[in-house]
């Protein structure tokens, strides 16, 4: 039986909240659409008023996650001004902060198997998030001679991969792993090594 108040206007939000709880408890592949409906207090049939199926529900959670993520990245980039280096480093810290604060959204985005091209809306907001890091990379590397300058998309992809690795291995308490240093320190030193390799930091920095 549906819970009181779960009418047409807020059932969608209730299903998303229930799914986020289940993702945090069981992982993005660890529950069925029927379980999400039960957790929201509605029948499985009611889910289809708002979502075409489980993948559609997960894609919407991923889209919401990217909206939050893009906003945090934009804030970090702008708050890190006036130097390009400070802005760039701030986006790395924002990645770690997002993964910790929004684990359900993070897992829907990166561990559910849902493609960022699952819906046009998801693709657009994912591109917006990537664009922040690409712009940070472009500004930081614009003084490198063109023949030695990596494409901003490649530069930012390297840092994204490094950030993602630190999150997956050390920032989310994965079983059997223990960070030898704080995740923020691991990421900061890793970025420093990368930037020194490009000549963007002095050797003793």
pLDDT, tens digit, for every residue of 183-202? 888 898 999 898 888 888 76
More confident residue, 200 or 23: 23
Write out pLDDT tens, residues 39-73: 988 888 888 888 999 999 999 999 999 999 999 99
Asked if the model's pLDDT at residue 173 lies above 80, the reply is no
- The residue among 28 and 176 whose pLDDT is bigger is 28
Query: Is the pLDDT reported for residue 8 higher than 50?
Result: no
Q: What is the CATH number of domain 1-51?
A: 1.10.10
**How much is the pLDDT for 178?**
67
Secondary structure (H, E, C), the chain: CCCCCCCCCCHHHHHHHHHHHHHHHHCCCCCCHHHHHHHHCCCHHHHCCCCCCHHHHHHHHHHHHHHHHHHHHHHHHHHCCCCHHHHHHHHHHHHHHHHHHCHHHHHHHHCCCCCCCCCHHHHHHHHHHHHHHHHHHHHHHCCCCHHHCCCHHHHHHHHHHHHHHHHHHHHCCCCCCCCCCCHHHHHHHHHHHHHHHCCCCCCCC
| Residue range 25-40: mean pLDDT, rounded | 91
Domain with CATH 1.10.10 in the chain: 1-51
Q: How far apart are CA 91 and CA 108, in angstroms?
A: 21
- Give 81-123 pLDDT, tens digit per residue: 788 888 888 888 899 999 999 999 999 999 999 999 999 999 9
In the predicted model, is pLDDT for residue 124 greater than 80?
yes
pLDDT number for residue 4: 44
pLDDT of residue 2: 43
pLDDT tens for 126-150 read: 999 999 999 999 988 888 888 888 8
Residue 9: predicted pLDDT: 55
What average pLDDT does range 14-33 have in this prediction?
92
Q: Specify the CATH number of the domain 58-197.
A: 1.10.357.10
How high is the pLDDT of residue 144? 87
Check if the beta carbon of residue 149 is closer than 8 Å to that of residue 133: no
Task: Locate CATH 1.10.357.10 in the chain.
Answer: 58-197
Q: What is the chain's length?
A: 205
5 or 182: which carries more pLDDT confidence?
182
């Amino acid at each position: 039986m549906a819970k009181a108040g779960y009418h047409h206007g807020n059932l969608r939000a209730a299903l998303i909240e229930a799914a986020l709880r289940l993702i945090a408890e069981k992982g993005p592949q660890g529950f069925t659409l029927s379980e999400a409906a039960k957790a929201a207090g509605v029948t499985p049939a009611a889910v289809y008023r708002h979502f075409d199926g489980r993948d559609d529900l997960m894609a919407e959670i991923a889209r919401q996650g990217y909206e939050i993520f893009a906003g945090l990245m934009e804030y970090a980039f702008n708050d890190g001004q006036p130097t390009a280096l400070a802005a760039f480093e701030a986006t790395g810290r924002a990645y770690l902060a997002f993964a910790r604060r929004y684990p359900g959204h993070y897992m829907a985005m990166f561990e559910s198997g849902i493609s960022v091209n699952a819906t046009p809306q998801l693709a657009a907001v994912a591109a917006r998030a990537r664009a922040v890091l690409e712009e940070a990379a472009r500004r930081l590397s614009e003084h490198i001679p063109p023949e030695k300058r990596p494409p901003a998309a490649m530069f930012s992809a390297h840092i994204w991969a490094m950030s993602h690795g630190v999150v997956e291995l050390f920032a989310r308490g994965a079983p059997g792993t223990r960070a030898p240093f704080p995740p923020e320190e691991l990421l900061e030193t890793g970025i420093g090594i990368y930037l020194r390799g490009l000549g963007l930091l002095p050797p003793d920095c």
